[in-house]
Structure 1
Amino acid sequence: MMPLKRRKVSSSTGAASTSDSRDDAFKFPQVVVFLLERKMGSSRRNFLTELGRKKGFRVDEVFTESVTHVVSEKNWADEVRGWLSSRGHDSTAAHLVDVSWLTESLSAGCPVCVLQRHRLTERPASSVDEAAAFSMPVYACQRRSALDHRNVVFTDALSLLAENAELDEDAGRALAFRRAAAALKAFPEPLTDARQIRGCPCLGRHSLRVVQDILEDGTSHEVEATRRSERFRAMKLLTGIFGVGTKTASEWFGEGIRNLSELRRSGRVLNRAQRAGVTHYDDLTRAVTKAEADAVARIVEEAVGAELPGARVVLVGGFRRGKPSGHDVDLLITHPQEGLEEGLIPKVVARLEARDFLLYHKSSRKSHTEASAAPACPASSMDRFERCLSICKVPTPEGRDDGALGGDDERGRCWRAARVDLTVCPFSQFAFALLGWTGSKLFERELRRWATHEKDMSLSSHALYDNKQREYLQAATEAQIFAHLSLEYVPPSQRNA
């Protein structure tokens, strides 16, 4: 196939005369749009230009006196005027609008009225100094994020929008909201004015608009509308079922299933994990406390110790970062003598089953080797250790731990169901696995991004590979991994990005 030829851009006079001669080809000749490439980028500008023309809008390649709407993205009004003025253009007769005006017009099929929220705002006089004075590293792995921070109302709102985007399988939008929330978690003071975060990384216009709405109205109408929406509530409930992902939940939602009662009446054939998830739904959607997690760790440690004396069992995930509760219990297992840990999971599972501790389990074998993982294969965010995903009977504080956890009477049982994940790793990979399984998810993602883009390395829960030197970098502790990456060590309690 012959490649498409790039369309030539004519001079200002030629472009204007061509556009004028084609006024009758546009649905709305009285509206002439010019897209400012500054901060928007050529690819996005070209895409919006073609889309606008397909919808019947006149979009000129160059600025002329005929332009009625100058559309830009992530610019202040004075920046746009200055940019145009430096090229000899007078923009006083044109509307200076945000790209949201264009997208809303394209959705409506006609130019919408320019409202105050569409107009570009002037850069506050103090914002330049504030932006210069306020400095925050771009990568979340360069920042310290404690559990207790001062901007919960904003981060909760952004996190809800991120969750909704994830349920819609819009990974890019979800990540943008997650990064914005992470930046505000690390912000050192309570946010009372949007000017405080001018220059703050990872805060795009959408996130800033949510922040501004909360500052002005005490809430975000978009967030509240999302929280109340039928799809969000149904998808959140359905994906809360153990063994159900967003794709399956979306299919069920499309079939009219909104809750467990409708799922049961639908006649859908569920797999073994999903049946267990429905059976124990109330327990599994209730937070696991630190006391309950510690009780699970003791039971698993006893079973592991009986099979492999000297093995180490570590409670990881949010609990290692200091969280008082979580949605599951993650335990990482290793042994100082490498190789003895292989095949441990089936033996531990057999002991836990004999104790009537398991309600459901599924085990997977180790599938990672250095030869298969690198250098040809890049590091993955998903590890390939020997593992058991399970639902267990967790002793409740009022229950007795007498070596057996029987008793299925709901009125007087001494246990509750909870998700418990067991992962076994070789001792040489323990530091990497410990770092990867501690989280938070965004912190780990940013660590891998930093390794790739800033250090030309590949980081996973198995290893750190230097692509320049073409060798693995050994590490016995998390601190050594941070040192390899030229990063200041961040303790687990400060990794809550």
Structure 2
Amino acid sequence: MVPLKRRKVASSQTGNTGTDCGGRGGPNQFPQVVLFLLERKMGASRRAFLSQLGRGKGFQVEDSFSQSVSHVISENNRGDEVRAWLDSQVRGQTPVHLLDVSWYTESMRAGRPVEILDRHKLQQADEAEVVVFSVPGYACQRRTTLDNHNSVLTDALSLLAENAELSEDDGRGVAFRRAAAVLKALPGAVTDMTQLRGLPCLGGHSLRVIKEILENGASSEVESTKQSERYKALKVLTGIFGVGAKTADRWIKEGICDLHQLQDSGQTLNRTQRAGLDHYDDLSRPVTKAEADAIGEVVEGAVASVLPGARVTLIGGFRRGKLTGHDVDFLITHPEEGREVGLMPKVVSWLESRGFLLYQKTTRNSYLESKTGPGRPSSNMDRFERCLSIFKLTEEERGGNTETLTESCLQSLSTPDPNPQPHAQTHRGGPEAGQTNPAGRRPWRAVRVDLVVSPISQFAFALLGWTGSKLFERELRRWAAHEKTMSLSSHALYDNKQERYLRATSEEEIFAHLGLEYIHPSERNA
């Protein structure tokens, strides 16, 4: 990327002042306002997106700075920095307004130029006080909401973490995840590297990436990773339900880099992978909260029909307040210990008989509590009874219409199928898998759904473990081991010093056992 200060500045005649041929989304509705977005620290892709957004709202947004510009929009720059850049481009010519990007975004929302307030104006060096941030060392000590002030930085670090994990370099992946988690928890935007002094979990590699983005608007390593053919192939192949990094790597070595090559290769796929490939497009699309609630109605109906009094809780990212996710998770229990035994097969049978399941794989509960303390599990997975499934969500349910959904669910509950068929491919008499309606649109979509059954004695631990985020849970267990000499899992908490289990009936009790301040689910988005 060529620094902006080296670029030639176009004259007012060569600026983007034309009509639609110049890329403008509509006529200029505000002729007194001519905008220029400074790329420095904003980045080329974000600048292009914001420019297109402004033109679509009827604003005149110039691609190059010229004397006709009346408003310069900047992100994460001080006023003296912008004036120095402007002086290097057009000496003695300064626009009337040097504004923060917040004025621009507020104007976009309003559909017109909003009033310029003091908070919109760029501060000078002697006015701006650099805020040095401070956060605790463990993510489980920090309150991390979905309001991320440093998304450009965290997205970059998360991409590098994902690339490391896909390459089975988990240590490097965790390092990037922890660095991103620190930035997510900060109460404001990072504008200067001095603000990061003394912060935990920011290693040299992460700091180099952050510094490059702050100075140039983008990281060369992140951009090259995005363009890497291997990274793109790993993303596609591991996006298939049931395909991990090792399998994807083996396929890539055999010359398989996309879905078409996989289908033509003659590779033997197991039942899970075949289902994942068959429903790849649907499973790659985000699931909305409305869709999760719709599936929840069905699951609650199924559970109530086979075990009255049992409880169903929506867990995962949706419990943390997210509006979309890649799957939907439910935790099921019964207030009487032992009543949950044998529940899962009945629920699965109910769902299959009514055509809700396109695929399912159920595993039995293998957790055993030992008097000598929990043994190290063979993997980080818990050992609850689980059903990994692909759910068939019909068109009326996808619309999120609660009245329609409730009516349809109640009708399904009150009208059992007289001839239930295992693994049915129809849903309440609807079209078969792959069939479309007369308009050519398939009237259902596939959604990944996990059902987990927990005894009530382990419910608080299961709820905590399955709520996430993944890094928050990892940090909770690291805190328990390193700071409290305890072993925490989704089943139990064991005190290694006292050699006894610490019981809990709520998440608040678990935090208290660990000596931590309780963190609400909406603040666990590390």
TM-score normalized by the length of structure 2: 0.68
Deviation at 1:288, TM superposition (A): 0.4
Report the CA distance between 1:135 and its aligned residue: 2.5
Does structure 2 conserve the Cα–Cα contact (< 8 Å) formed by 1:373 and 1:379?
no
**Partner Cα distance (1:427, 1:373) in 2:** 22
- Residue aligned with 1:452, SS: helix
Between the aligned partners of 1:493 and 1:373, the Cα distance in structure 2 is 35
User: How far did residue 130 of structure 1 move?
Assistant: 8.2
Q: Describe the superposition over 1:49-71 as per-residue Cα deviations: whole angstroms up to 9, x where unpaired.
A: xxxxxxxxxxxxxxxxxxxxxxx
SS at match of 1:371: coil
1:370 partner SS: coil
- Matching residue of 1:453: 482
Cα distance in 1 between the residues matched to 2:335 and 2:453 = 12
Correspondence 1:189-208 to 2 at 5 A = 189-208=188-207
CA contact (8 A) 2:390 2:447 kept: yes
SS at match of 1:236: helix
Q: 1:319 to 1:238 in 2, by over 3 A?
A: same
Mapped partners of 1:176, 1:387: distance in 2: 30
1:414 is displaced (CA, Å) by 2.7
* Mapping 1:3-42, distance limit 5 Å: none
1:236 equivalent in structure 2: 235
User: Offset at 1:148?
Assistant: 1.4
Q: Does 2:522 correspond to 1:493?
A: yes
Q: Tell me how far apart the structure 2 counterparts of residues 237 and 261 of structure 1 sit (CA, whole Å).
A: 11
**Separation in structure 1 between the aligned mates of residue 506 and residue 249 of structure 2, nearest angstrom:** 42
Residue 250, structure 1, aligned to residue 279, structure 2:
no
Q: Is the alpha carbon distance of 1:222 and 1:295 closer, same or farther for their aligned partners in structure 2, counting shifts above 3 Å?
A: same
Contact 2:133 / 2:186 at 8 angstroms: preserved in 1? no
Instruction: Provide the residue aligned with 2:350 in structure 1.
Output: 351
In structure 1, the partner of 2:445 is: 416
Output the amino acid matched with 2:332: I
Task: Give the Å deviation of 1:136.
Answer: 1.3
Task: Describe the superposition over 1:410-439 as per-residue Cα deviations: whole angstroms up to 9, x where unpaired.
Answer: 334332101000000000100000000000
1:438 aligns with 2:467: yes
Distance (Å, rounded) in 1 between the aligned partners of 2:375 and 2:275 = 39
**Given residue 291 of structure 1, which amino acid in structure 2 is its aligned partner?**
A
| CA 373–364 in structure 1, closer or farther in 2 if over 3 Å, else same | farther
Counterpart of 1:447, as a letter, is L
Q: Residue 221 and residue 377 in structure 1: after superposition, are their counterparts in 2 closer, same or farther (change >3 A)?
A: closer
Cα separation, 2, equivalents of 1:203 and 1:263: 39
- 1:362-377 to structure 2, matched below 5 A, reads 362-371=361-370, 374-377=373-376
Tell me which moved more, 370-379 or 480-489.
370-379
Is the counterpart of residue 426 in structure 1 residue 455 in structure 2? yes
Distance in 2 of aligned mates of 1:333 and 1:373: 28
Q: Is the 8 A contact 2:373 2:499 kept in 1?
A: no
Equivalent of 1:471, from 500, 509, 513? 500
Quick check: 2:362–2:386 contact (8 Å CA) kept in 1? yes
Unaligned runs of 5+ in 2: 1-128, 413-426
The residue that corresponds to 1:321 in the other structure is 320
Separation in 1, partners of 2:242, 2:458: 28
Aligned equivalents of 2:145, 2:177: Cα separation in 1: 16
**Alpha-carbon distance in structure 2 between the residues aligned to 1:378 and 1:481:** 21
1:407 corresponds in structure 2 to 431
Indicate the residue corresponding to 1:482 in structure 2. Answer: 511
> Greater CA deviation, 411-420 or 295-304?
411-420
Going from structure 1 to structure 2, the CA distance change for 1:254 and 1:380 (only over 3 Å counts) comes to closer
Whole-Å Cα distance in 2 between the matches of residues 172 and 486 of structure 1? Answer: 27
Q: Report the alpha carbon displacement of residue 373 of structure 1 after superposing the two structures with TM.
A: 8.2
Q: What do residues 360-380 of structure 1 show as CA deviations (whole Å, max 9, x unaligned)?
A: 000000000212882454796
Report how many residues are paired. 368
The 3 A distance-change label for structure 1 pair 455 and 394 is same
Residue 296 of structure 2 aligns with which residue?
A: 297
Q: Provide the TM-score with structure 1 as the length reference.
A: 0.72
Q: Is the 8 A contact 2:225 2:231 kept in 1?
A: yes
Preserved contact between residue 295 and residue 395 of structure 1 (Cα < 8 Å): no
Looking at structure 2, the residues matched to 235 and 281 of structure 1 have their Cα atoms a distance apart, in angstroms, of 15
Describe how 1:146-165 pairs up with structure 2 within 5 A.
Answer: 146-165=145-164
Fraction of identical pairs, as percent: 65
Given that 1:315 and 1:330 are in contact with CA atoms closer than 8 Å, whether structure 2 keeps it comes out as yes
Q: Secondary structure at the match of 2:338?
A: coil
Which runs of 5 or more residues in structure 1 are unaligned? 1-128
Change (3 A) 1:270 1:377: closer
The CA distance in 2 between the partners of 1:198 and 1:291, in whole Å, is 42
Q: 1:288 to 1:375 in 2, by over 3 A?
A: closer
In structure 2, the CA distance between the partners of 1:473 and 1:380, relative to structure 1 (3 Å rule), is farther
In 2, are the aligned partners of 1:320 and 1:492 still within 8 Å (CA)? yes
Amino acid at match of 2:431: G
* Superimposed CA distance per residue, residues 22-54 of structure 1 (whole angstroms, 9 cap, x where no aligned partner): xxxxxxxxxxxxxxxxxxxxxxxxxxxxxxxxx
Do the aligned partners of residues 274 and 375 (structure 1) sit closer, same or farther apart at CA in structure 2, a change above 3 Å counting? closer
Provide closer, same or farther for how the CA distance between residues 288 and 376 of structure 1 changes in structure 2, counting only shifts above 3 A. Answer: closer
